[in-house]
Chains A and B, each alone.
Chain A
Amino acid sequence: MNDDMTPPETAHINDTEITPEIVVEHGLKPDEYEKIVALMGRTPNMTELGVFSVMWSEHCSYKSSRKWLKKLPVSGPQVIQGPGENAGVIDIGDGYAAVFKMESHNHPSFIEPYQGAATGVGGIMRDVFTMGARPVANMNALRFGDPSHPKTRHLVAGVVHGIGGYGNCIGVPTVGGEVNFDSCYNGNILVNAMCVGLARTDKIFYAAATGIGAPVVYVGSKTGRDGIHGATMASAEFDDASEEKRPTVQVGDPFTEKLLLEACQELMASDAIIAIQDMGAAGLTSSSVEMADKGGVGIVLDLDKVPCRETHMTGYEMLLSESQERMLMVLKPGREQEAEAIFLRWGLDFAVVGSLSDTGRMVVHHEGRMIADMPLEPLADGAPEYDRPFTPTPLAPLIDASHADDTNITDALKILMGCSEIASRRWIYEQYDSMVMGDTLAGPGGDAALVRVHGTQKALAISTDVTPRYCLAQPVEGGKQAVAEAYRNISATGATPLAITNCLNFGNPERPEIMGQFVECLEGMGAACEALDFPVVSGNVSLYNETNGQGISPTPAIGGVGLIENLEKAVGNAFTQADRYIFVLGKTEGHLGCSLYQRFVLQDEAVYAPPSVNLELERKHGQFVRDLIDAGIVDAVHDVSDGGLLVALAEMCLPHNLGCHIEDDNTAGFWFGEDQGRYVIVSADPDKILAQANASGLALNYLGKTGGSELTIAERIHICVKELGAIHENWLPDYMKTV
């Protein structure tokens, strides 16, 4: 009879013979497996195969995208750390650094929206505080399916609860984001979370492990079986059976993350840490491989020391688990006790689970057996790099807007203000704590969020942007526009744009037209980053966003960060006082292709060419706006984007219920065209800003004045601001109420 305490004798997982079926189950292609055998010089066992499969997954290895990512501009005088670390780091002066990154959690959020979104937020915050920064702001970029799709409401509710549930509890404000609804996301929503942290430039922590014999330490939560093969799941298409993958979604505990954050900050105040890496995708495997490989050393792990929350876990499971709220550190030898005291005080697990070696190999022991012995370099960097074939996206035709109705501007404006793409996001953002930490100067609802650098007069401006419909129609212009809009939103507050992170969401790269979208979006993005001195310092690629062969629109989300030195100079995007002069900067040609007017008013589903982006003008306009704000001669600035000029003006009326009178009547194209590079500027000093625009040779056109309770145009159009406000505010709550 068996003793209850001992497991029944079963064959060790490593005794399983590797068959072609097992290789396929691990998401590896036959030629990839052959490469593994060649690199190992023998057949890998199951544990080793598991480790290779996650390290070589698209999610971890960027095997389809690396070739193109290398072309993005990643440097500049402001850049302290570009892509390749847990997060990017930029210098914001006076010894401060901003640390930030954006990451996707798309597949898990579709399967289990609350936990998927929550752990997305938790993961990106760990990436930031691993670098020694304290997270000070969260942002998110969300894409849901068509509002009429039966799952959309449930997914919106779950994702919003998940983001709030995690961020609110840990006490980091969620200060902004963006949300789109489109049928291309019906089977594959996008949840992209961004975190921004602050650190001292001389206290940045990196992942590279050094010091042969130094202890490798595991801290945080215990390891369970959740999330095994999450990275592999994130690297495959979905089908109708995908919801059966719910067990591969991790479960988050923001309370533990809060404790982990505080404990890490306390230990980081000392000099005991040599290297630190969070256990994110592919958990213990990727953190130990990356730390040892970056430091050019080897690593020996003893899995018997790993704190587990489930019994009888195999080494394979421990290595691949994606249990949340865990970190791996390399400490200076002899400092273990002081570190342990900190983590125990915060009620967290602390265990020395291995040490660094000089072998360049990862050797793993478990239950008296060596279960893996593999070379590190090929694990980390040896994944095949694919130069996947791609076909250019055909040029979309220009729209024939002759059927746009110039006579009914009022109804068109009301449709747009209450459409799913423009309607107020208040129902969402009031579920996020946007004020905790006491430094949120401008929260959700503005062009960019503004967060004070604690204890200084500086503030960070943060914006997330991309317009997927432009990217679908003409990926090069769409890629440019995403960067340009982030640049514009930051400039509109008065801040100088400094750097971006990105989250590149695309369909299946093995399809040449999808790969074409990827290549072209990156071409546009790179050109814009270059022209605007707005380099990429971190990012994430999410491919295979497809369900049943239906890919999403290309969605390369941009998270931009800028800096304003004196926060008192920052301006908002609302009309605040009557009798101010309203101008539009930039030419309005009335480009209706790919506009929301086309989609919601003309109800024309065809794909037309989007507005083009003039990067040289973009740069000049941004500089001009920032100079005006710095000179203190403008009251408000708002970038003109979705819905065009009249929507921008209406949005400026709403916050204070203050109307405006526009002098000249014009066409639907003029009011709703989405020509790029434009800002609405409000000032009490029209002569001065006109003179400055003339001197700079820029197109600045007078529109009218603020005042009253209506938005009026010439003698023809009178729209009650309160009525617009109700239309704008009601759509989302009404939508979420209906069952």
Chain B
Amino acid sequence: MQASVIVFPGSNCDRDVAICLEAATGKKPNMVWHGDSDLPDSDVIVLPGGFSYGDYLRCGSMAANSPIMKEVVLKAQKGAAVLGICNGFQVLTECGLLPGVLMRNAALNFVCRNTRLIVDNNTTPFTGLYQQGEEVIIPVAHNEGNYFADDETLNELSSEGRIVLSYAPDNNPNGACRNIAGICDSSGRVLGMMPHPERRAEAALGGEDGKRMFTGLVEALS
């Protein structure tokens, strides 16, 4: 499996996720600069966490308009898997690959903590190694993670099984509608999630619940 990580100015989890991808695939992912318009062939494209363009204007909005994102959208349409983590999720909603919007946290504060998540759909390429309904611990770290969409969209997401990850009901860190932590597109191959699986992928960092997302991708896409 070949992975690519898009690096925007202000990305700051690009190295962290590249380490997890390399551990899972055995080879270094391509690190692709935002200003490039060529995207090497990739089975999975990762939009990492961070503060692309300083979160100026609106989180993810400038990154969504960078040259490389045209390529990411094309590749996604051709079936490449796309994983947006945190700021990457914000970019995916801004560029239209995923519906809805990430608003400011309900408490109006940045929040960094471990959260308990429920895996609501284990049939995506990202979640195949989790049990359906399994509770896992993965941390969040964001100021704008409060997922919002209109009821029609939320009902559609829900009925199509596109709510892939949700916060345990008593553990919603940001006020997200229906405790949504991660959603996918209708193909199931584009996933946006606020929690950071790359931060909990080895025992020394407190646990390995996030690791299965990367090893699962290798199993699903190789």
Cα distance A432–B113 when bound, in Å?
A: 9
Q: Of the candidates B54, B55, B110, which one forms a contact with A433 in the assembled complex, judged by CB atoms under 8 Å apart?
A: B110
> Is the pair B9, A171 in contact by a Cβ cutoff of 8 Å?
no
> Is the pair B141, A168 in contact by a Cβ cutoff of 8 Å?
yes
Given A164-B110, A258-B51, A431-B112, check contact A170 B204 (CB 8 Å).
Answer: no
Complex contacts, A165 vs chain B, CB 8 Å: 110
* SS class, residues of chain B in contact with chain A: mixed
Closest 3 CB pairs of A and B: A171-B12, A255-B54, A438-B16
Is A533 on the interface with B (CB-CB < 8 A)? Answer: no
Is A272 on the interface with B (CB-CB < 8 A)? Answer: no
State how many angstroms separate the Cβ of A278 from the closest Cβ of chain B. 20
Complex contacts, B27 vs chain A, CB 8 Å: none
Closest residue of A by beta carbon distance from B203: A568
Report the number of A-B residue pairs with Cβ-Cβ less than 8 Å: 80
> Is the pair A433, B141 in contact by a Cβ cutoff of 8 Å?
yes
Interface size on A, residues (CB 8 A): 30
Cα distance A452–B206 when bound, in Å?
A: 13
> Is the pair A438, B12 in contact by a Cβ cutoff of 8 Å?
no
Complex contacts, B113 vs chain A, CB 8 Å: 430
Is B178 on the interface with A (CB-CB < 8 A)? Answer: no
Residue positions of A touching B, CB distance < 8 A: 161, 164-165, 168-171, 253-256, 258-259, 346-347, 429-438, 440-441, 452, 567-568
Q: Give 21 A-B contacts (CB < 8 Å), ordered by A residue.
A: A168-B51, A169-B51, A169-B54, A170-B12, A171-B51, A254-B54, A255-B56, A256-B54, A258-B51, A429-B112, A430-B109, A432-B112, A433-B141, A434-B112, A435-B196, A435-B205, A436-B49, A437-B15, A438-B15, A438-B16, A438-B198
Given A258-B10, A259-B9, check contact A437 B16 (CB 8 Å).
Answer: yes
State how many angstroms separate the Cβ of A343 from the closest Cβ of chain B. 13
Q: Of the candidates B13, B109, B199, B205, which one forms a contact with A441 in the assembled complex, judged by CB atoms under 8 Å apart?
A: B205
> Is the pair B199, A435 in contact by a Cβ cutoff of 8 Å?
yes
Complex contacts, B84 vs chain A, CB 8 Å: none
Complex contacts, B19 vs chain A, CB 8 Å: 438
Given contacts A255-B54, A438-B19, 14 further A-B contacts (CB under 8 A): A169-B10, A169-B51, A254-B51, A256-B54, A259-B10, A430-B113, A432-B112, A433-B112, A435-B141, A436-B16, A436-B199, A438-B198, A441-B204, A568-B204
Q: Of the candidates B110, B196, B204, which one forms a contact with A431 in the assembled complex, judged by CB atoms under 8 Å apart?
A: B110
Given A255-B56, A435-B139, check contact A171 B13 (CB 8 Å).
Answer: yes
Q: Of the candidates A347, A436, A452, which one forms a contact with B13 in the assembled complex, judged by CB atoms under 8 Å apart?
A: A436
Q: Of the candidates A164, A347, A437, A441, which one forms a contact with B9 in the assembled complex, judged by CB atoms under 8 Å apart?
A: A347
> Is the pair B198, A430 in contact by a Cβ cutoff of 8 Å?
no
Cα distance A429–B50 when bound, in Å?
A: 18
Query: What band does the interface of chain B fall in when counting residues whose beta carbon is under 8 Å from A?
Result: 20 to 34
In chain B, residues 177-209, which have Cβ atoms closer than 8 Å to a Cβ of chain A? 196, 198-199, 204-205
State how many angstroms separate the Cβ of A83 from the closest Cβ of chain B. 31
Residues 112-140 of chain B, each 1 if its beta carbon lies under 8 Å from chain A, else 0: 11000000000000000000000000010
Cα distance A170–B9 when bound, in Å?
A: 10
Is B148 on the interface with A (CB-CB < 8 A)? Answer: no
Complex contacts, B16 vs chain A, CB 8 Å: 436-438
Complex contacts, A170 vs chain B, CB 8 Å: 12
The winner among B16, B19, B56 for most chain A CB atoms within 10 A is: B16
Complex contacts, B12 vs chain A, CB 8 Å: 169-171, 258, 436
In chain B, residues 137-190, which have Cβ atoms closer than 8 Å to a Cβ of chain A? 139, 141, 143
Complex contacts, B205 vs chain A, CB 8 Å: 435, 438, 440-441
Complex contacts, B109 vs chain A, CB 8 Å: 161, 430-431
Complex contacts, A440 vs chain B, CB 8 Å: 205
Complex contacts, A259 vs chain B, CB 8 Å: 9-10
State how many angstroms separate the Cβ of A346 from the closest Cβ of chain B. 7
Closest residue of A by beta carbon distance from B204: A441
Cα distance A51–B122 when bound, in Å?
A: 65
> Is the pair A431, B13 in contact by a Cβ cutoff of 8 Å?
no
Cα distance A147–B15 when bound, in Å?
A: 41
Complex contacts, B10 vs chain A, CB 8 Å: 169, 255, 258-259
Closest residue of B by beta carbon distance from A164: B110
Given A259-B9, A435-B141, A438-B16, check contact A171 B50 (CB 8 Å).
Answer: yes
Closest residue of B by beta carbon distance from A435: B199
Complex contacts, B112 vs chain A, CB 8 Å: 168, 429-435
Cα distance A187–B12 when bound, in Å?
A: 37
Is B111 on the interface with A (CB-CB < 8 A)? Answer: yes
The winner among A161, A169, A441, A567 for most chain B CB atoms within 10 A is: A169
Complex contacts, B9 vs chain A, CB 8 Å: 255, 258-259, 346-347
State how many angstroms separate the Cβ of A34 from the closest Cβ of chain B. 48
In chain B, residues 17-33, which have Cβ atoms closer than 8 Å to a Cβ of chain A? 19
State how many angstroms separate the Cβ of A345 from the closest Cβ of chain B. 8
State how many angstroms separate the Cβ of B55 from the closest Cβ of chain A. 7
> Is the pair A431, B54 in contact by a Cβ cutoff of 8 Å?
no
Cα distance A433–B111 when bound, in Å?
A: 8
Closest residue of B by beta carbon distance from A426: B113
Complex contacts, A258 vs chain B, CB 8 Å: 9-10, 12, 51, 54
Closest residue of A by beta carbon distance from B49: A436
State how many angstroms separate the Cβ of B19 from the closest Cβ of chain A. 7
State how many angstroms separate the Cβ of A543 from the closest Cβ of chain B. 33
Cα distance A161–B13 when bound, in Å?
A: 21
Closest residue of A by beta carbon distance from B109: A431
State how many angstroms separate the Cβ of B170 from the closest Cβ of chain A. 15
State how many angstroms separate the Cβ of B219 from the closest Cβ of chain A. 23
Complex contacts, B56 vs chain A, CB 8 Å: 255
The winner among B19, B50, B54, B139 for most chain A CB atoms within 10 A is: B54
Complex contacts, A437 vs chain B, CB 8 Å: 15-16
Complex contacts, A429 vs chain B, CB 8 Å: 112
Closest residue of A by beta carbon distance from B33: A345
Complex contacts, A438 vs chain B, CB 8 Å: 15-16, 19, 198-199, 205
Closest residue of A by beta carbon distance from B201: A438
Cα distance A430–B54 when bound, in Å?
A: 20
Closest residue of A by beta carbon distance from B35: A345
Cα distance A435–B15 when bound, in Å?
A: 13
> Is the pair A169, B199 in contact by a Cβ cutoff of 8 Å?
no
Cα distance A432–B110 when bound, in Å?
A: 7
State how many angstroms separate the Cβ of B172 from the closest Cβ of chain A. 14
The winner among B55, B113, B143, B204 for most chain A CB atoms within 10 A is: B204
